[in-house]
Structure formats: C-alpha cells, structure tokens
C-alpha cells in the first residue's frame, strides 16, 4: 500500500482529506511527505505555532512555487488554520498536475485541540 492509499480520494470539486491521527502516525513513521502550511507568515510563527517540520508558503504565493513542489516528488499535506485555505491550495496543486495531495482536516486548530504538538 502506498502512502496515498490512506487518503480518501476527493472528486475534482472536493479535495482529499487526512485526519490528524493518521497524519501524525505517518510523520512519526518517517513517511516521505511535505507538510505545506499556506497561512501568512505572521500566522505561521504566532502562537500556538505550526505543525512540526511544516514549510510555509502563503496561499497568495503558491502558484509560482508549484514547479518547485512538483520537483520534490513527495506527498503533500496542505495545512492552514482550519482547512478552508488549504482546500483551495490543494485544488490549485491538483489542477497544476500534482497527484499526491491531501488536506489536513480541521487544520492547525484541530491538530492543537486534539493535544498534538506544534512548533
């Protein structure tokens, strides 16, 4: 089973989602994935923080960075405060040809509310 078998596949109008417990399990197992936080830099660094190892590329800056993300050839989990911006970002990534993309359901708010660590 590949890493993307764990994501519920969405339709063209609905992105795939991953829940916090499964994402944390994959991160702890060392799965090759990129956690992409699409919040603004001040949100990314403000308390309560961001997911461990997350890379910050704000949603307005995403389009020109897509080729770099595609070159990484790894799964991408998109994160924001809730999951609205990340769903838009995931749709943009998929439309650009990236296939292994999912959204963290509930975003950093949900992650934090479940008592999971943030940096």
Regarding the domain delimited by 14-113, which CATH topology (the fold level of the hierarchy) does it fall under?
Answer: Oxidized Rhodanese; domain 1 (3.40.250)
Whether omega for the bond prior to residue 48 falls within 30 degrees of 0, making it cis, is yes
pLDDT (tens, 9 = 90+) of the chain, 119 residues, equals 344 444 544 545 457 999 999 999 999 999 999 999 999 999 999 999 999 999 999 999 999 999 999 898 899 999 999 999 999 999 999 999 898 899 999 999 999 999 999 99
Domain residue limits, the chain: 14-113
Helix (H, G, I), strand (E, B) or coil at 49: coil
Q: Note whether 54 and 36 are within 8 A (CB).
A: yes
The Cα 29–Cα 73 span in angstroms is: 18
């Amino acid at each position: 089973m590949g890493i993307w078998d764990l994501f519920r596949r969405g339709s063209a109008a609905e992105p795939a989602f991953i829940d916090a417990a499964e994402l944390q399990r994959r991160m702890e197992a060392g799965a090759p994935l990129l956690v992409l936080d699409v919040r603004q830099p001040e949100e990314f660094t403000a308390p309560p923080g961001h997911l461990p190892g997350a890379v910050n590329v704000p949603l307005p800056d995403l389009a020109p960075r897509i080729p770099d993300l595609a070159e990484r050839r790894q799964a991408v989990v998109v994160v924001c405060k809730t999951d609205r911006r990340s769903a838009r970002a995931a749709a943009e990534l998929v439309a650009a040809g990236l296939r292994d993309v999912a959204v963290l359901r509930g975003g950093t708010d949900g992650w934090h509310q479940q008592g999971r660590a943030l940096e």
